[in-house]
Chains A and B, each alone.
Chain A
Amino acid sequence: MKGRAGAAPTPYIPNTDADRAAMLARVGLASTEELFKELPADQRDPPIDLPPSLGELDLLEHLRVLARRNAAAQERPSFLGAGAYRRFVPAVTGSLAARSEFMTAYTPYQPEISQGTLQSAFEFQSVVCELTGLAVANTGLYDGASATAEACLLAARVTRRSAVALLEPIHPGTADVVRTYAYGAGLRVDMIGSAAQMTGEHAAVVVQQPDFLGTIRDIEPIAETAHAAGALCVTVVDPLTLGLLRAPGDAGADIVTGEGRDLAGPVAFGGPSLGLFAAREVYLRQMPGRIVGRTQEQHGARGGDESEASPRTGYVLTLQTREQFIRRERATSNFSTGQSLLALAFTITLQALGPQGLREQAALCYQKAHNAAARAAALPGFAVVERGPWFQEFLLRGPLPAAAVRAALAERGIEAGLDMSDRSEPEARAALLMCVTETTTEQEVDALVAALTAIGDVT
């Protein structure tokens, strides 16, 4: 960007023409073009079709216009969950996690000036262990589904088996990601309808809690069946539900994965996300991802008088010989940059809620969902499918095909649940998977009931 004497080329680049001239003279170059002299001359400086640059004011306006094109800008009542849940996240979470010392740091290779990232990652590992009932956790993976895929790879490594079983109903996105990772690892992925279908070929059974249709599972007999078959039990959780539900580790799960995004911040079209990953201690050295450990200052780290003082406690990345930058092709995973900032936000939310608040928030979600379901089920032409105890999602059948109910609700400004007509479970096929969380208001349920009533009246 030449031509404007003395100008810095963008607000983010400080060097002016005068700076560049002085630096070039010192480097011994006539122009900055010479910096690129080793690049192939016939391919240098190609035409690249990009839109013109925008100043900050115009950029803001451009993106505000685009944001308003999303229906979410209108704050419609929404009953859509299916893996992404609009949760209550306390104000302190966003405020603290946005501090630029957290936000603009990177992987804490220098622990002396990264204790903020490291100590909060240790808090995160502790929170995940407490929630899941397992002994060890890493600092987080990309999302719940890829964490589940990594759990399957771990299970295959330790059992030396080459198939995994996914217990239906499981989120199709989770199954899809497991298949992607399994393709590289040469694992077969079997969809099973009951734990009894496991065989000695399976390294693990993956069970979603609550399942994809919203029903709360009893993990214990599933884990027992898996263990009897010599396989691991991997349980995929929605962490808020663990405010009420039994810790899967206590019920026999060997690895627990889950999606932490919704307690860290907004759903944001599904990402960035946060994969939770906890395991029994015996699998520690096979775990993927980064792990933070507590230690203390080296003896005499400060020299002089201070060597008299007792060493201070600190945190470091540890057990790194599992990782790609040391072990290369023999690493447990290629995982490197993860989701640290979301792990921090997740931790702050959980610690702000505390034991009482977490239980209350989970209970509020449960009560609101069951109240809404009862009101919908009472409407002529509508029914809630009975599948056993459930947490926040239920199957709603109406007098019209699910797609038609969904469209009719959309016309009335309501985001309905997921159309389940492509599911294999017979009870799901004509239904919408409706979700109510702690953030759903009574007015929104009123609007849903009114809209469903109108749909019922027309038919």
Chain B
Amino acid sequence: MIERAIGEEDFGARLAFDRGAAGRRAVAVPQWQGRETPLPAAHLLRDSVRLPELSQGELVRYYTALAQRNFGVDTGSYPLGSCSMKYNPKVNDVVASLPGFANAHPAEPEAAQGTLRILLDLQRALGAITGLPHVSLAPAAGAQGELAGILMIRRALEQRGELGKRRRVLVPDSAHGTNPATAAMAGFTVTQIPTAADGAMDRAALAAELDGSVAAMMVTLPNTLGLWETGIEEAARDLHRVGAFVYGDGANLNAIVGRVRYGDLGIDIAHLNLHKTFSTPHGGGGPGAGPVCASTALAPYLPAPVVVEGSTGTLALHRPRESIGQLQQFHGSVGVLVRAYAYIRTLGLAGLRAVSENADLNANYLRVLLEPHYDLPHPRRVLHEVVFSGSRQRKAGVRAYDIVKRLIDYGLHPPTVYFPLIVDEALMIEPTETESREDIERYAAALVAIAEEAERDPEALEEAPQHTPVGRLDETRAARRPVLRWPGPETEPCGSKGTVER
């Protein structure tokens, strides 16, 4: 983090487009020396493109300054709940960029046997870890994995002739927003299941919804409160009894990896977020990968491709018999998949079990350190993350928003806030296993100090963060008067041009 020096420019006001000078260039492109072929007719061509003109050094300094205005896992503690912001091993980046992998063309899988071997072995490993042996690595991210899984359920119901009557997907109110949005994209309606006082799904409310109109239930294990869904096996049996499927959202697999398998609990299909549990860099918001792991009954519907081994040992891409189809033009986030494979090969089963062990211990250690200072709406032992409420501080006029902005001044990345929606002033903290005992203590000490500040001088917190390149930004202004591109003539206020023709 750098602060503004005396008299420093308003850095954000000057984009690359506003820097440099006409005629400068950051890279030389060779000229064609051979016979010139005439260009196509003029009406197919353009005059010019407006792009920045910077020297290479100017461009590098600009993006270096931008990098310095960012906080990553390599910068410090980043316990963003539900995101598993663990350390990303460097060797995985190295192996993913080996030329044989990096230059393999997707239209020639027969010439990429090394890549296919990795993908096949990753499919097998994820199948073994989840107890759902049929795996497609095609989804680009968790949300696309969810879409694949729910479309597979749709197709299975269609084949059973039941799609017409099974129109509902049950989603707990603690679920990520992607779950209901996915169900809607797959053409289902959403029924919300409330959370009981103990933080698990309200089983009576669930039982009341179970009938022949239910297509599936989507459940996150452990749930977004960091709590085990007690009785999930019985709930799954109840769903199966009425002919519905159980979808597992694997965003929180880090809590239980190596300890219990989704398939053994009665889950029919689950997606995993490889950028979470399997440690591929989050990239400022991707790329990730969201493989789907399915039971034998749902295997025919997996998205294409899956990797299969032929009788001669040659590996090939295969489209399952009743596949829902492709999710991307090619075969998925292969560079991410190679990193996840390298991670699993480094850790092995014992290492993966150490992941869940230490992730959960860290979360519980943080829980006991903070419990005297913050309200804990569900005072139970947690798994990989703990959700506090800032309701006590709220009474002093301090919002969860203020608390996390103050954390930034301690050099720490805030937790997830205001999620799950069912917790008032939620502070959702997931330390992960790669934080040390001292890291957890430092984080807790900062939150304790802020709780004391909230009592002593609540107004002061409203000015946090003080030590960042920019202070609190006006998000309302951003939405009311959207400026979404250079050169940034402000568009009309919301409502006049921003509405959609219907």
Taking CB atoms, residues of chain A closer than 8 Å to B70 are: 101-102, 105, 113-117
Known: A36-B256, A39-B260. A173 touches B328 (CB 8 A): yes
Least Cβ distance of A88 to chain B in Å? 7
Task: State whether A298 touches B472 (Cβ < 8 A).
Answer: yes
Please encode chain A, from 111 to 151, with 1 for each CB lying within 8 Å of some chain B CB and 0 for all others: 11111110110110111011100011101001111100000
Within the complex, which residue of B48, B470, B475 is in contact with A318, where a contact is CB–CB below 8 Å? B475
A386 interface contact, C-beta 8 A? no
Chain A to chain B contacts (Cβ below 8 Å), 24 pairs:
A19-B437, A59-B91, A59-B95, A60-B91, A72-B112, A80-B105, A84-B106, A92-B60, A101-B72, A107-B282, A110-B414, A119-B66, A127-B51, A130-B49, A218-B43, A245-B46, A271-B333, A282-B501, A296-B473, A297-B473, A299-B474, A316-B478, A331-B177, A336-B178
Known: A69-B117, A104-B72, A173-B328. A354 touches B83 (CB 8 A): no
| Complex CA distance for A352 and B32, rounded to whole angstroms | 20
Least Cβ distance of A398 to chain B in Å? 19
Known: A113-B1, A312-B471. A301 touches B325 (CB 8 A): no
Please encode chain A, from 27 to 63, with 1 for each CB lying within 8 Å of some chain B CB and 0 for all others: 1110010011111100111101111111110011011
| Complex CA distance for A123 and B368, rounded to whole angstroms | 44
Q: Please classify how large the interface on chain A is, using the bins under 10, 10 to 19, 20 to 34, 35 or more.
A: 35 or more
Chain A residue, CB-CB nearest to B288: A337
Known: A38-B381, A116-B68, A180-B303. A340 touches B283 (CB 8 A): yes
Within the complex, which residue of A14, A86, A96, A292 is in contact with B67, where a contact is CB–CB below 8 Å? A96
Task: State whether B327 touches A177 (Cβ < 8 A).
Answer: yes
A226 interface contact, C-beta 8 A? no
| Complex CA distance for A320 and B475, rounded to whole angstroms | 10
Task: State whether A146 touches B328 (Cβ < 8 A).
Answer: yes
| Complex CA distance for A91 and B80, rounded to whole angstroms | 33
Least Cβ distance of A247 to chain B in Å? 6
A225 interface contact, C-beta 8 A? no
Taking CB atoms, residues of chain B closer than 8 Å to A360 are: 29, 31
Task: State whether A269 touches B112 (Cβ < 8 A).
Answer: yes
A168 interface contact, C-beta 8 A? no
Chain B residue, CB-CB nearest to A22: B437
Least Cβ distance of B443 to chain A in Å? 14
A393 interface contact, C-beta 8 A? no
Least Cβ distance of B59 to chain A in Å? 6
Taking CB atoms, residues of chain A closer than 8 Å to B465 are: 112-113
A235 interface contact, C-beta 8 A? no
* Partner-binding segment picked from B205-213, B237-245, B357-365, B448-456: B357-365
Task: State whether B190 touches A67 (Cβ < 8 A).
Answer: no
By Cβ-Cβ distance, the 5 closest A-B pairs, closest first, are A270-B330, A270-B106, A53-B348, A301-B471, A116-B70
Taking CB atoms, residues of chain B closer than 8 Å to A62 are: 345
Task: State whether B383 touches A342 (Cβ < 8 A).
Answer: no
Known pairs A70-B115, A242-B49, A363-B32 / 11 extra A-B pairs, C-beta < 8 Å: A35-B381, A60-B95, A70-B100, A75-B103, A103-B93, A111-B473, A122-B486, A282-B497, A326-B177, A337-B282, A374-B37
Known: A242-B49, A266-B103, A359-B48. A364 touches B30 (CB 8 A): yes
* Partner-binding segment picked from A183-191, A199-207, A377-385, A447-455: A183-191
Taking CB atoms, residues of chain B closer than 8 Å to A174 are: 329
Known: A14-B434, A293-B479, A352-B56. A112 touches B408 (CB 8 A): yes
Please encode chain B, from 41 to 77, with 1 for each CB lying within 8 Å of some chain A CB and 0 for all others: 1011110111111101001100110111111111100
B423 interface contact, C-beta 8 A? no
Taking CB atoms, residues of chain A closer than 8 Å to B39 are: 244, 363, 366
Known: A177-B325, A340-B286. A48 touches B129 (CB 8 A): yes
| Number of B interface residues in the complex (CB < 8 A) | 218
The number of A-B residue pairs with CB atoms under 8 Å apart is 737
Task: State whether B49 touches A359 (Cβ < 8 A).
Answer: yes
B291 interface contact, C-beta 8 A? no
Which residues from 14 to 35 on chain B have a C-beta closer than 8 Å to any C-beta of chain A? Answer: 15-17, 24-32, 34-35
Chain A residue, CB-CB nearest to B466: A302
| Complex CA distance for A66 and B315, rounded to whole angstroms | 13
Chain A residue, CB-CB nearest to B303: A180
Chain A residue, CB-CB nearest to B333: A272
Known: A10-B346, A174-B329, A312-B10. A361 touches B67 (CB 8 A): no
Chain B residue, CB-CB nearest to A55: B346
Least Cβ distance of A22 to chain B in Å? 7
Known: A43-B260, A366-B37. A104 touches B329 (CB 8 A): no
A90 interface contact, C-beta 8 A? yes
Taking CB atoms, residues of chain B closer than 8 Å to A130 are: 49-51
Taking CB atoms, residues of chain B closer than 8 Å to A353 are: 26-27, 29, 51
Task: State whether A336 touches B142 (Cβ < 8 A).
Answer: yes
Least Cβ distance of A136 to chain B in Å? 6
Task: State whether A296 touches B477 (Cβ < 8 A).
Answer: yes
Least Cβ distance of B418 to chain A in Å? 10
| Complex CA distance for A233 and B342, rounded to whole angstroms | 43
B67, B344, B434 pick with most chain A CB within 10 angstroms: B67
Task: State whether A53 touches B347 (Cβ < 8 A).
Answer: yes
Least Cβ distance of B29 to chain A in Å? 4
| Complex CA distance for A336 and B73, rounded to whole angstroms | 20
A403 interface contact, C-beta 8 A? no
Please encode chain B, from 463 to 500, with 1 for each CB lying within 8 Å of some chain A CB and 0 for all others: 10110111111110111001111101001000001111
Least Cβ distance of B485 to chain A in Å? 4
